[in-house]
Amino acid sequence: MFPEKKTLEKIKIALIGNPNVGKTAIFNYLTKSSQKVANFPGITVKGKSGFFTAKNKKFIVTDLPGTYGFGTDSPEEKVAKKFLLDEDLNLIINVVDATKLERNLILTLQLTGFKKPMIIVLTFADKIEEEGIDINYEELSKIFGVPVIPISALHKHDLEHLKQFIIQYIQSPLIPETILKADEILDLSPKIKALYLYLKNISIPKKLKNLSLEWLTFLVATNDEVVLEHFDRETREQINSILQETDMHLENEEVPVSLLFINYLYEKVQEIIKKVYSNKEEVNTKTIMELIDEVLLDPIVGLLVFSAVIWLTFKLTFDVSQPFSTLIEIMINQVIAMIHHYLPQNVFTSFLSDGLISGIGFILTFLPQLAFLFFGITLLEQTGYLTRVVFVTDRFLNKLGITGKSLAPLLLGFGCNVSGVLATKTIPDEKERIITILVNPFMSCSARLPVYVLISSALFPQIASLVITGIYLGGIMLAAFMIWVYRKTLFRGEQSSLLIEMPELTLPPTSSIFYQIYLYLKDFTLHAGFGITIGVVIIWVLSITGPSGYLGPDALNNQALIQQSWVYKIGQLLETIFKPMGWETPLIVALILGFIAKEVVVGTLAVLYGHGNMAQLVPILSSVMSPVQGIAYMVFVLTYTPCIATVFAIKEELGIKWTIFSIINGLVTAWFLSFLIITIGGLLL
Amino acid sequence: MYPLSVAVPGKKYIIVAIQARNHAVKRLAQLGLLKNTPVFVIKNLGRGPILVEARNSKIVLGRGLANKIIVQPLN
């Protein structure tokens, strides 16, 4: 029979380091096909986990969000801190950029406080040779008391060597030296000293026992919630009173403890650098990358380049992807035809072909578009070009009321608004974050594209792409307007300032790009696909049943029958609201069901008009809508309530109040704008 | 002594003071910008953000923040 499955010993590993050091490349290599949680496209704010097995052990690797240290309360830091405290970690892999040793070692120093087995991996080891830098790895290893492994994250054999090293090392790992000396830290401030002495004499909560006392003192002194929550209330009150008491003895304006600490850390790092780092030559000639940056960062040329990149991405997304979509559509129709041919005509056949397969088919047909869009976005971020874009656009975004930090979440909205909303976690300013979330739905997500394509092809056959581009631009202008309005009304006050690191421009390996696109597509398919399939099935049920009872699958092909269905009745109820627009019931029903997922709009139209594919829908649509009505319809789709998934994402980020606001805002704006278009259209024509 | 926002590109400076609120000071410190940190100004166009290099990495600062960082030229 089957051999008994042995329970493998679990080894938990955390990957932690500054942003842009190459953690993800290492993570991808170690965990290849086993990644569990796909992060939302673009920015790693939540951690992701994966594993590999070797020597009867299961190595579970978690890629923590990039962080510079533990001194602020940014969401990335919180996630990292929680993980390092709450998990029974077997190993910390600290990934350090060898070309930026000074700043990277700040985090390393802080990590020693956790007193967990550690390895230091130095990435970009190949680059330091080029730049004439020499690092004494053995000395560095001696100072920290843990192994130091230089690698180039681009070279597979370096990564394999690292993997083998981890497997070996875990058998007898080393805990880092105590570099943060008690007597040095106590000298920093009376607050720290008093707190240290208090903590020394009490019983430390279990989860915090491992930490070095010096490091724990620092975390407590900086009012770190993640750490403080482990203490009982009594202890916390004691701690509070100590922190307040010593305040009274301070003469000068208070310097925050974390700042004193960071100054101290930098002094320690300087000492270490002197012992291990030497720069042979001062490189004065400009590298190619720097010359390219001159162009990309130029206020005028940079913007032109960006516009060209955007135009190219959209062109790929709309035009170049079409043949692929059509191919997939043809294949789906073949499958449906075969089902009708080989299976008896009954409810179940109908469910299979008109419900399930249709639903899945619709998702598949616009994967090509998404693939190109995600390709564009991935290229932007992985090359580091996105930061250049932030630099040249910040000035203009400031005029509206946001910073360049909001650009990525807004751009992501073009792929999927859920991704866009969740990506706003990286915006430090709360007001700006809320604004970016509220206007995200106006970044027309790819799910709405099929609607635009369908209606534009039907009503504006010659200039379809132009019209679609117009809708997208309209969305952007609407978003810009809304940002400006929000800043003048609900969110007045000082704007926060941009502060980000600009990584070096690199050409990422194609495998990395394609792997990321694959992750995005997989994430989107599972995420939205589930909702859409359910949605299409619901429509199917509501189409073949009605107030009068079961209508049978023929309803899908019979106009008379379908008018007795639930789906139709709901549409009729809402006709009065949409009277000025003159849209007939199936179109209204499609909008309602579009709340489930925007992709469902086209699916609904297909079912209600009795045809499963776009080619057949096109002539029908051109007969039930005038061009003006078509534009009004597309604008409505652009603007009204975001889909359920996005609504949930907004609720997760901002809570119920803002979610309801967002829904109502969308509906009212959508109705008003469509009405405006119909009215103006009516006057002009 | 003057704010970073009026510093000249291509020159080296040293930070002498940061006149921002604690929250901003911490964020700056995280990236390595503290009192006595040498910075090299790469780009400053009088409008829009400023690009500097400090501790071997390039950092983009909004103008508002740059106004609050006081520097002195380094010889």
A19 alpha carbon, distance to own chain's centre: 15
pLDDT of residue A430: 85
Which of A123-143 are b and which e, b meaning 16 or more Cβ less than 10 Å from the residue's Cβ? bbbeebeeeebebebeebbeb
Look at residues A116, A135, A115 and name the one whose alpha carbon lies nearest to residue A127. A135
Q: Which of A244-258, A310-324, A658-672 has the highest mean pLDDT?
A: A658-672
CA distance A248 to chain B (A): 19
Q: How confident is the model at residue A409 (pLDDT cuts 50, 70, 90)?
A: confident
Q: Which residue shows structure tokens 């270490």? A: A272
The domain defined by A9-169 folds into Rossmann fold (3.40.50)
A446 alpha carbon, distance to own chain's centre: 16
Closest chain A CA to residue B37: A266
Q: How confident is the model at residue A139 (pLDDT cuts 50, 70, 90)?
A: very high
Interface test with B, best of A502, A504, A505, A506 (most B CBs within 10 A): A502
d(CA A321, CA A366): 8
Which DSSP state fits A353? Answer: I
Answer yes or no: is pLDDT of A399 > 90.
no
pLDDT of residue A39: 41
Look at residues A88, A80, A71, A70 and name the one whose alpha carbon lies nearest to residue A207. A88
* Contact yes or no for B35 and A263 at CB 8 A: yes
How is residue A105 written in tokens? 């070692």
Answer yes or no: is pLDDT of A34 > 60.
no
Interface test with A, best of B28, B30, B35, B44 (most A CBs within 10 A): B30
pLDDT tens for residues A549-560?
Answer: 787 776 666 666
Angle A303-A519-A418 from CA coordinates, rounded to 5°: 65
Answer yes or no: is pLDDT of A148 > 60.
yes
> Counting Cβ atoms within 10 Å, is residue A333 exposed (0-12), middle (13-18) or buried (19+)?
middle
Answer yes or no: is pLDDT of A7 > 90.
no
* Contact yes or no for B59 and A500 at CB 8 A: yes
Answer yes or no: is pLDDT of A40 > 50.
no
pLDDT of residue A38: 40
pLDDT tens for residues A322-336?
Answer: 888 888 888 888 888
pLDDT tens for residues A536-551?
Answer: 677 778 877 888 778 7
Closest chain A CA to residue B25: A259
Cβ neighbours of residue A437 closer than 8 Å, sequence gap 6 or more: A421, A424, A650, A653, A654, A658, A662
CA distance A430 to chain B (A): 13
Mean pLDDT of all residues in A360-373: 78
Of B31, B51, B62, the CB nearest to A497: B62
Which stretches of chain A sit within 8 Å of chain B by CB? 68-69, 71-72, 99-103, 106, 256, 258-259, 262-263, 266, 297, 299, 387, 390-392, 394-395, 398, 403-404, 428, 495-503
pLDDT of residue A247: 52
What are the structural domain ranges in chain A? 9-169, 182-279, 305-492+512-684
How is residue A429 written in tokens? 């300013």
Answer yes or no: is pLDDT of A354 > 80.
no
The secondary element (H helix, E strand) that includes residue A395 is: helix A385-400
Answer yes or no: is pLDDT of A55 > 60.
yes
CATH number, domain with residue B48: 2.30.30.90
pLDDT of residue A414: 83
Average pLDDT, chain A: 83
Answer yes or no: is pLDDT of A150 > 90.
yes
Mean pLDDT of all residues in A102-114: 93
Of all residues in chain A, the percent with pLDDT exceeding 90 is 23
Residues of chain B with Cβ-Cβ distance to A102 below 8 Å are 32, 55-56
pLDDT of residue A285: 60
Q: Which of A30-34, A79-83, A603-607 has the highest mean pLDDT?
A: A79-83
Residues of chain A with Cβ-Cβ distance to B47 below 8 Å are 299, 395
Answer yes or no: is pLDDT of A250 > 50.
no
* Contact yes or no for A502 and B45 at CB 8 A: no
Answer yes or no: is pLDDT of A450 > 60.
yes
Answer yes or no: is pLDDT of A436 > 50.
yes
The residue among A252 and A525 whose pLDDT is bigger is: A525
Residues of chain A with Cβ-Cβ distance to B34 below 8 Å are 259, 262-263, 266
Write the Ramachandran bin of A81: left for phi over 0, alpha for psi from -120 to 50, otherwise beta. alpha
Mean pLDDT of all residues in B29-38: 90
Alpha-helical regions (H) of A401-448: 407-413, 417-423, 430-439
* Contact yes or no for B59 and A266 at CB 8 A: no
Mean pLDDT of all residues in A416-432: 80
pLDDT tens for residues A17-28?
Answer: 998 888 888 988
Cβ neighbours of residue A219 closer than 8 Å, sequence gap 6 or more: A70, A211, A227
Alpha-helical regions (H) of A134-201: 137-144, 156-169, 182-186, 190-201
The residue among A339 and A284 whose pLDDT is bigger is: A339
pLDDT of residue A181: 85
Cβ neighbours of residue A579 closer than 8 Å, sequence gap 6 or more: none
Give me the CATH code for the A182-279 domain, please.
1.10.287.1770
The complex's ipTM works out to 0.95
* Contact yes or no for B51 and A106 at CB 8 A: no
Give the pTM: 0.79
Is there a contact between A608 and A556 (Cβ–Cβ < 8 Å)? no
Answer yes or no: is pLDDT of A220 > 60.
yes
* Contact yes or no for A256 and B26 at CB 8 A: yes
State whether residue A217 is helix, strand or coil.
Answer: helix
Mean pLDDT of all residues in A294-316: 87
Angle A421-A427-A430 from CA coordinates, rounded to 5°: 90
Answer yes or no: is pLDDT of A629 > 60.
yes
Q: How confident is the model at residue B6 (pLDDT cuts 50, 70, 90)?
A: very high
Look at residues A518, A507, A368 and name the one whose alpha carbon lies nearest to residue A33. A518
pLDDT of residue A523: 67
Domain containing B64: what range? Answer: 2-73
Of all residues in chain A, the percent with pLDDT exceeding 70 is 89
Mean pLDDT of all residues in B9-37: 89
Q: How confident is the model at residue A101 (pLDDT cuts 50, 70, 90)?
A: very high
Q: How confident is the model at residue A108 (pLDDT cuts 50, 70, 90)?
A: very high
Which stretches of chain B sit within 8 Å of chain A by CB? 22-32, 34-35, 43, 45, 47-49, 51, 55-66
pLDDT of residue A37: 45
Mean pLDDT of all residues in A359-371: 77
How many A×B Cβ pairs under 8 Å?
105
* Contact yes or no for A68 and B31 at CB 8 A: yes
pLDDT of residue A391: 92
Q: How confident is the model at residue A3 (pLDDT cuts 50, 70, 90)?
A: low
Answer yes or no: is pLDDT of A251 > 90.
no
Number of structural domains (chain B) is: 1
β pairing state of B38-44 and B50-54 = antiparallel
Answer yes or no: is pLDDT of B68 > 80.
yes
Interface test with B, best of A390, A407, A498 (most B CBs within 10 A): A498
Mean pLDDT of all residues in A225-233: 87
